[in-house]
């Protein structure tokens, strides 16, 4: 199982990775700090789940999600630093869960299990 994260905050990325591996020991977890590198990786690999912090992209959230959905249609957790009202138009995206920082690990695990059906 391949889980890819795009998290710009290294400490948070490390915490998320440790918790993901604890909850899903069979998973391989990779983190990208730049959106361009993430895009390249997605085009060449098959992911089971993507966890995206919108801060890794220099585009606005709508542009980022629109571009991402052109190359990736799988389960997606979107992490935001602002209120959900800014992304209400994206709430209808299939296989997508929005979360706001600070991340609560139990809620993240529930979102992952919900999207992966485990």
The predicted pLDDT at position 115 comes to: 92
Look at residue 60 and tell me whether its pLDDT is greater than 70.
yes
Coil, strand or helix at 90: helix
Mean pLDDT across 8-12: 89
Domains and CATH numbers, the chain: 2-116 (3.40.50.2300)
pTM of the model: 0.87
Mean pLDDT across 49-65: 88
- Tokens 């789940």 found at: 49
What sign does the CA torsion over 32, 75, 108, 65 have?
positive
Q: At how many degrees (to 10) do helices 61-71 and 35-44 cross?
A: 20
In tens, the pLDDT along 62-118 reads 888 888 989 999 999 999 876 554 445 544 567 889 898 888 999 999 999 999 986
Asked whether the beta carbons of 77 and 50 are under 8 A apart, the reply is: yes
Instruction: Quote helix, strand, coil % in the chain, to nearest 5.
Output: 50, 20, 30
Asked whether the beta carbons of 80 and 86 are under 8 A apart, the reply is: yes
């Amino acid at each position: 199982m391949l889980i890819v994260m795009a998290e710009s905050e290294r400490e948070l990325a490390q915490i998320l990775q440790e918790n993901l591996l604890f909850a899903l020991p069979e998973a391989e977890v990779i983190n990208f700090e730049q959106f361009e590198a993430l895009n390249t990786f997605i085009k060449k690999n098959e992911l089971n789940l993507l966890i995206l912090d919108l801060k890794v992209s220099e585009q606005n959230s709508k542009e980022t999600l629109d571009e991402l959905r052109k190359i990736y249609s799988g389960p997606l957790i979107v992490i935001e630093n602002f209120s959900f009202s800014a992304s209400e138009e994206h709430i209808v995206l299939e296989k997508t869960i929005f979360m706001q920082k600070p991340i609560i690990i139990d809620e993240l695990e529930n979102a992952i299990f919900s999207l992966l059906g485990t």
